[in-house]
Each structure stands twice: as C-alpha cells, then as structure tokens.
Amino acid sequence: MKKETIIITIFLLISTLSVRAQQINEPPDYMIKLKTVFDVPEGHHHDFSKPLKNASNELEFLFGLFYWTYKNFISSQDVDSCVFYPSCSTYMILSIQKHGVLTGFLEGMDRLMRCSPFAAYGHYPLNKKIMKYEDPME
Amino acid sequence: MKLKMKSSRLLSLIISLFGLAAVWSQTLEQTEQVADKFMEQGDYYSAAKFYSRVYFFADKSQLGRINGKLGMAYFGKGDFKRAYNHFDVAQKLESDDSTKTEWFLRKTSALILRHQYKLALLGILNYRGKFTSRQQKNLIFLKGTVYFAEEKYDEAKKTFVQIIDPGDSLALARLDSLFTKKNLMRPNPVTAKWLSIFIPGLGQIYAGDIKNGINSFALNATLFYLFARDAVRFSFTESFFVFYPWIQRYYQGGYERAQRIAKKKRRQKRAQVYHGVHEILM
C-alpha cells in the first residue's frame, strides 16, 4: 500500500512539474499576437440577393434581378469608376425599395447624372478610408 | 421644525462625508490591483482607464512600471501606436536589464504590428542591452519577421534557422518546405495582369479564381464580338465609338482585377507560411 502511495505521489509531482514547464515555455503574449501580422482581412461580403428576397411586387423583383445580375457578373468586372458610397446601383435599388419603382428609378438616374469626379468635389464629405464621397440614401 | 430640518441635513452631510471617506480610502496600489485584475480578465479598455489614473498620480519611481503596464493594456486593445509610446518610456525609465529588454521586445513587436518594419529593424540592430536566452530567441524571431515582411526571404530563413537547434532535423526540414518559391512568389501579380491582357480572364484563372476568369472572358468576348459585328455591318468608326468605352472598362477592369486577385492570393499564402514558421519556432 505504502509503495503504491509513493508511486502515485511521485507521478503526480512529475505531472505537476511538466505542466509548470509548459507554462514557462509558452511564448509571451506579444509573440503570440505577432502570428496575425501578415493576415489578409477577408473584406465585407455583400449579399446582392437581398433586394430579390425583400421585393414586395413583381416590378421590384425584376429590378432586384437586374441588380443581382449586374452586381455579380458585370459590375464585378468593371474598373472602380463610381465616385460615391454607396455605389449608384446600390443607391438606386435602395431608393426603389424605399420610395417605390418610379421615384426610386428617377432618384437613381439623378444619382447617375451626379456621378462624376468633377461634380462631386467639395459637395460631399470624403470617406478617406475608401476614398469615396459619402452620399447615403435618405 | 426648523431644528428638525437642520438635524436631518446634518445627518445626510455626515453620511455623505463617510461615503467620500470610503472613496478616498482607495489607494494607488488598490487602483493598480483593480487594473491588473482587468488585464487578467482581458478587459484591456478598463485596464487602460485604471492604469491611466495610476499614471496620473504615480511618483517618479513608479512611472517605468506603470508605463509598461499601460503599454500592455493598449497592446491588448490593439492600439499599437500608444502601446509603442508607453513601452518606449518604460524602457528608458527601467533600470533592471532584463525588464528593460522585455519592454524593448514589446516595443519592437508593436512597431511590427504597425507595419513599420524598417524602424523595427533599426531598433533591433542597434540594441545593446542584455538578454536572457529566451529573450535572445524572441529578438531573433522578431528580426526574422522583419526580413520576412520586407520580402528578404533568404535573410529571413537564415535568421529563423538560428533559433532552431542544429540537431532538430525535422524542424529544419519543415522550415525548408515552407520557404519555397511556390509558397512565397506565386501567383505573380504581373504575370496575372499580362495573361489577362493577352486573353481576358486567363490571369484570374492563373490566380485561382476560375469563376471570375470565365466571367471576364465571357463579358469581353461578347463585347468584342458585338464590336466586330457592327464594324462589318456598319462601319469601323461607328462601331469603335459605340463599343470602345465598354471594352475599355471591362477589359481594363479584367486585367486590374486579375492583378488584385493574384496579389491577395500571394499575401494569403505568405501569411500561411508565416503561421507555419510561428508554429515551428514558438
């Protein structure tokens, strides 16, 4: 019995020591944090199908479908030419959702006419992070 | 009645004074202990707030330690600029060699996390303090990281190898397998761009984004077809004025995108390599 007790005690002592050794060998917090220094941020994932899902009538669904197709297959291949945030297409779809097809379409067209590097200067606050002029849907 | 009012006011004043006395009873040490507790819990925002209070009232002999702790709180918060400033002051005020070096290492890692690699390397190469063996290892790792960030991969590998025990052939082989041209230099953004200039979409496919490549090819092929069709049916000039703005947008957009995709892919692969190095050495 005594022998067993001694063996168990020694075993427990050794295991405690190994845990302690592991703690000492652990790298400090700043070295752990350094692991992420070259990580690439994934960026925002936009759900372009939202207007499709939220459409309240057939016409809104049709515009939602145009928007989804444009954003996924055409706008994604374009040079970054829109000077505003949100972009003109997003602005138009948000406007259609809020004010209905006719007013929304006209507001979108108005935005497209305003979208030029010369027109925007000084009139809209510049978002320096994305280098675009802020013109939110009101 | 008047006396009653007065006595009640007096009583509330006494109670308030007792309350104030209780607030006063919190010493700087206790405030620091509270901040330490917040640090342990990972609440760096509160920790920084309490350390700042201690910092304001602390005497000169405590400033080194408090600056270091404040730096650690800001470091935890991800505010590496402030962390760097506090570690810098802590390093200057500290008299103990080992602690001084510790603040220096933290300061350097804050610089690296702010992507100020040249400044970090300058500090590392000029540091003349004393190190423990563990600190020496960390310093070499930081130096290797700076070379890695500066894309001096041969120098980085040579530096990282210094930390590995020469007898540990497994770790050396793992490091070798990570530092390959395929892992660090591919895909090449310039190649991706030129591939997309010759055949729209090819650069995206080369960079691994097949969906985008097919999309770009289909869009450009349609526009080129429409341009050619109208040039034959009507006139070249007319077709040029109709389709050139579209072709220019999507053709240029395609090769710029191919370059961007390749750059991102390469950065992701490099991050993976660094994760591997970190796992081997830390």
Instruction: Dump pLDDT digits (tens) for B2-26.
Output: 555 577 778 777 777 666 555 555 6
Domain range spanning residue A9? 2-36
Task: Decide: residue B198, CB within 10 A, 0-12 exposed, 13-18 middle, 19+ buried.
Answer: exposed
**pLDDT for A13:** 63
A34–B113 C-beta distance less than 8 A: yes
pTM above 0.80, yes or no: no
B252–A38 C-beta distance less than 8 A: no
**Assigned domain for B206 exists:** yes
Q: Do B102 and B217 belong to one domain?
A: no
- The encoded tokens of residue A64 equal 């939602």
B165 sits in the region (left: phi over 0; alpha: psi -120 to 50; else beta) called beta
Q: Do A85 and A125 belong to one domain?
A: yes
Q: Do A27 and A86 belong to one domain?
A: no
**Total domain count, chain B:** 2
In a mutational test of the B interface, the residue from A23, A30, A31, A70 whose CB has the highest number of chain B CBs within 10 Å is: A30
**Assigned domain for A44 exists:** no
**pLDDT for B21:** 55
- The encoded tokens of residue B160 equal 């990282």
Provide CB contacts within 8 A for B134, sequence distance 6+. none
Q: Are strands A132-134 and A84-85 parallel, antiparallel or unpaired?
A: parallel
CA distance A103 to A99: 6
Average pLDDT over chain B, rounded to whole?
Answer: 89
pLDDT digits (tens, 9 = 90+) for B12-68: 777 776 665 555 556 878 888 888 899 899 899 999 999 988 888 888 888 888 999
User: Among partner residues B109, B110, B252, which is closest to A79 by beta-carbon distance?
Assistant: B252
Q: Do A76 and A114 belong to one domain?
A: yes
Interchain contact A7–B (C-beta under 8 A)? no
Please identify, among B108, B128, B163, the residue that sits at the C-terminal boundary of a domain. B163
**Assigned domain for A66 exists:** yes
Nearest-CA distance B206 → chain A (Å): 16
Sort out which chain A residues have CB atoms less than 8 A from B267's CB and list them. Answer: 38, 40
Task: List residues in chain B touching A: CB distance below 8 A.
Answer: 72, 75-76, 105-106, 109-110, 112-113, 115, 138, 141-142, 145, 148-149, 212, 215-216, 219, 249-250, 252-254, 256-257, 264, 267-268, 270-271, 274-275, 278, 282
**pLDDT for B1:** 47
pLDDT digits (tens, 9 = 90+) for B189-233: 999 999 999 999 999 999 999 999 999 999 999 999 999 999 999
**Total domain count, chain A:** 2
Q: Do A29 and A59 belong to one domain?
A: no
Residues A34-38: contacts with CB under 8 Å, at least 24 apart = A34/B109, A34/B112, A34/B113, A34/B142, A34/B145, A34/B278, A35/B274, A35/B275, A35/B278, A35/B282, A37/B112, A37/B113, A37/B115, A37/B145, A37/B149, A37/B274, A38/B148, A38/B149, A38/B267, A38/B270, A38/B271, A38/B274
Nearest-CA distance B104 → chain A (Å): 12
B212–A79 C-beta distance less than 8 A: no
Interchain contact A31–B (C-beta under 8 A)? yes
Q: Do A62 and A91 belong to one domain?
A: yes
ipTM of the complex: 0.74
Q: Do B47 and B126 belong to one domain?
A: yes
Q: Do A19 and A63 belong to one domain?
A: no
Q: Is the pLDDT of residue A19 over 50?
A: no
Cα Rg of chain B, angstroms:
31
**Assigned domain for B105 exists:** yes
B110–A30 C-beta distance less than 8 A: yes
Q: Do B203 and B266 belong to one domain?
A: yes
Q: Do B194 and B256 belong to one domain?
A: yes
User: Among partner residues A40, A76, A81, which is closest to B215 by beta-carbon distance?
Assistant: A76
**Assigned domain for B21 exists:** no
Provide CB contacts within 8 A for A138, sequence distance 6+. none
Q: Do B214 and B253 belong to one domain?
A: yes
B271–A39 C-beta distance less than 8 A: yes
Report the share of chain A in percent with pLDDT over 90. 6
Count, residues in chain A? 138
Q: Is the pLDDT of residue B133 over 80?
A: yes
Nearest-CA distance A1 → chain B (Å): 43
Interchain contact A21–B (C-beta under 8 A)? no
B115 sits in the region (left: phi over 0; alpha: psi -120 to 50; else beta) called left
Sort out which chain B residues have CB atoms less than 8 A from A30's CB and list them. Answer: 75, 105-106, 109-110
Domain range spanning residue B225? 189-281
